[in-house]
């Protein structure tokens, strides 16, 4: 009798273990605009690169979450404020995450998953610039843990400010 119940007990304990798997990584959206081509290719000035970054996650079904890292890269010539190119890219992934407390789940979706996605996104952006006839764009590494904690701190400060006004 004890032998028969042992596999069931092992199975139950395995079901309670934290689980993290990458199910799928993919480019969700990708666009490039070069509004001043072909004359922009005659310019010799190095562009100023502006980067905007956003991450988001959403629940798909039990234990599955989609996480998306979005970047908008704008290259402008500073003297004329002329746009060389604009790249918008979304790198996404489907992640299986189970048996984590809510605060750990939140940090996995905001830190761990973007850290996995971002190198792929950097490659996509660089390749897109090259294929459009421009120099590669080398996006600097990003510390998503620092961004997450800054965002939490800003939310706490905003909440505190709201509470003091009432």
Give the tens place of pLDDT for each residue, 48-62. Answer: 999 999 999 999 999
Which has more confidence, 13 or 111? 111
CA torsion angle for 128, 129, 130, 131 (degrees, to 10)?
Answer: 50
Rounded Cα distance, 37 and 33, in Å: 9
164 — pLDDT class (breaks 50, 70, 90): confident
Domain 19-138 has CATH 3.10.420.10: yes
User: Would the pTM of this model clear 0.75, i.e. be above it?
Assistant: yes
Max CA pair span of the chain: 82
Work out the percent of the chain whose per-residue pLDDT is above 70: 90
Query: Quick one: 122 exposed, middle or buried, by C-beta within 10 A (0-12, 13-18, 19+)?
Result: buried
């Amino acid at each position: 009798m004890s032998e028969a119940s042992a596999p069931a007990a092992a199975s139950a304990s395995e079901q309670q273990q934290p689980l993290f798997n990458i199910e799928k990584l993919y480019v969700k959206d990708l666009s490039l605009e070069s509004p001043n081509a072909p004359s922009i290719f005659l310019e010799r000035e190095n562009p100023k690169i502006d980067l905007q970054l956003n991450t988001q996650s959403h629940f798909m079904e039990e234990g599955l979450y989609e996480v998306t890292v979005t970047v908008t890269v704008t290259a402008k010539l500073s003297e004329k404020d002329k746009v060389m190119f604009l790249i918008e890219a979304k790198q996404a992934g489907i992640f299986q995450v189970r048996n984590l407390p809510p605060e750990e789940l939140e940090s996995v979706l905001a830190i761990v998953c973007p850290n996995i996605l971002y190198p792929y996104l950097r490659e996509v952006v660089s390749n897109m610039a090259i294929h459009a006839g421009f120099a590669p764009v080398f996006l600097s590494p990003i510390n998503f843990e620092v961004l997450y904690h800054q965002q939490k701190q800003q939310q706490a400060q905003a909440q505190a400010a709201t509470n003091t006004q009432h």
